[in-house]
Structure 1
Amino acid sequence: MKKILIINGHPDKESFCFALAEGYKKGADSSGADCKLVHLIDLDFNPILTFGYREISELEPDLVKMQQEILAAGHLVLVYPNWWATFPALLKGFIDRVFVPGFAFKYRKNSPFWDKLLAGKTARMIVTMDTPKWYYFLMNKNAGHNAMRIGVLEFCGIKPVKIISFAPVKSSDGVKRRKWLAEVEELGKEQK
């Protein structure tokens, strides 16, 4: 049974993303999985990559711990809202600071290729949107989904990466949200 790490990238503790993250954990726990849920808003870190990758800033204790959790996990679950066709600044800052060279990937000298240091892990993205899915696909070309799946997770060797989107959240009612929560809980039970 895989060790699961759920990372909630929504900064608002009263958001639907918090409920989805808890729902996935509830399902995973009920199946006996070794599952940990982390809300990024509870971590103490500077999300700014001050020097780019020219100089890696020293990681705060919470980020060191998160790197250890990521290494120990076999399956990552990222829960977050789609804002401006991508993901929140809190989650982007976390990625910038944690998924650094030497941890998540390593450039090869005199080569355009790189080593994918997180290979062997799988991931699930749980994304909320106010934009209808069809519109996001047609007009935005799934920009945020592709940025996270291809540009971050697969770049570091994590695959397969599965995506489930819930939309539009803004106009959804209690019945629809309960259905979505049940769907996520089932994903947790199946550890997908």
Structure 2
Amino acid sequence: MKVVIVFNHPYEKSYCNAILEAVTEGLKEANHEVDLIHLDNDEFDPVMRAKDLKAFVTGSRNPEESYKLLDPQVKDYKNRLENAEHLIFIFPIWWELMPALTKGFIDKLIFPGIAYDFNPKGNRMMKKLNLSGVTMITTMNTPKLLYRILFGNAIKKAMLLGTFWKMGYKNRKWINLNMVKSASDEKRKTWLVDIKRKFAKKNL
């Protein structure tokens, strides 16, 4: 299976980087093909500019014109997403949501003509990518219960429900590691072992 990982964390020694390593090792053990999109290293521009919005608006009715408006980096990401069979996001939760680069990736890549199209009536999204599933792995320092009760699992609603459920992608999973900063070294090592084992499987 070809797996695209969208990674976002600017600090190379972060726990998210350790997660990325564990996920990658697990996937390779199961003979999956891994394609890493490292938004920070790529210096991805997350800002939705006028030409990007025009591409979004024309994506469904005029894909060729929309494609011309995309910058080279977005075109590259588009081609890689279209070849993916599973999509994995890895990022920290900051102020209850995703960092700017991840949000920009959603804004610029998850739009008509790439990730979905509309039905003939224009009132329902239909998935376009050949994805068997989407997995989101996040870290945060907020207690899990507090994040669920007070903030309503905001990132889950924004990404897996508000984005991928809306488009019709059924296999959606969220692995959320909370209180990471205060977790013991033993706990952190256990998480990494569990994550590596989870992705060392044929079916994700």
TM-score, structure 2 normalization? 0.85
User: 1:126 maps to which residue?
Assistant: 137
Q: Does 1:90 align with 2:101?
A: yes
* 1:65-84 map, 5 Å: 65-84=76-95
User: 2:196 maps to which residue?
Assistant: 185
Q: Secondary structure at the match of 2:55?
A: coil
Q: CA deviation at 1:53?
A: 6.7
- Structure 1's unaligned 5+ residue stretches are none
1:85 maps to a residue whose letter is E
User: 1:112 maps to which residue?
Assistant: 123
| Pick aligned residue for 1:168 from 179, 184, 200 | 179
Q: CA deviation at 1:121?
A: 2.7
Q: CA deviation at 1:11?
A: 2.6
* Aligned-partner Cα distance in 2 for 1:117–1:95: 15
Q: Secondary structure at the match of 1:35?
A: strand
CA deviations on 1:7-56 (whole Å, 9 max, x unpaired) are: 11223222111110111010110121112222111224321112387512
CA deviations on 1:145-173 (whole Å, 9 max, x unpaired) are: 11110112223332211111111111112
User: Root-mean-square deviation (CA), in Å?
Assistant: 2.0
Q: 1:60 to 1:45 in 2, by over 3 A?
A: farther
The number of residues matched between the two structures is: 191
User: 1:145 maps to which residue?
Assistant: 156
Identity fraction in percent: 31
Greater Cα offset, 59-68 or 76-85? 59-68
Q: 1:96 to 1:17 in 2, by over 3 A?
A: same
* Aligned-partner Cα distance in 2 for 1:111–1:75: 27
Dislocated runs of 4+, deviation >4 Å: none
TM-score, structure 1 normalization? 0.90
1:67 maps to a residue whose letter is K
Q: Is the 8 A contact 1:6 1:78 kept in 2?
A: yes
Q: Is the 8 A contact 2:10 2:40 kept in 1?
A: yes
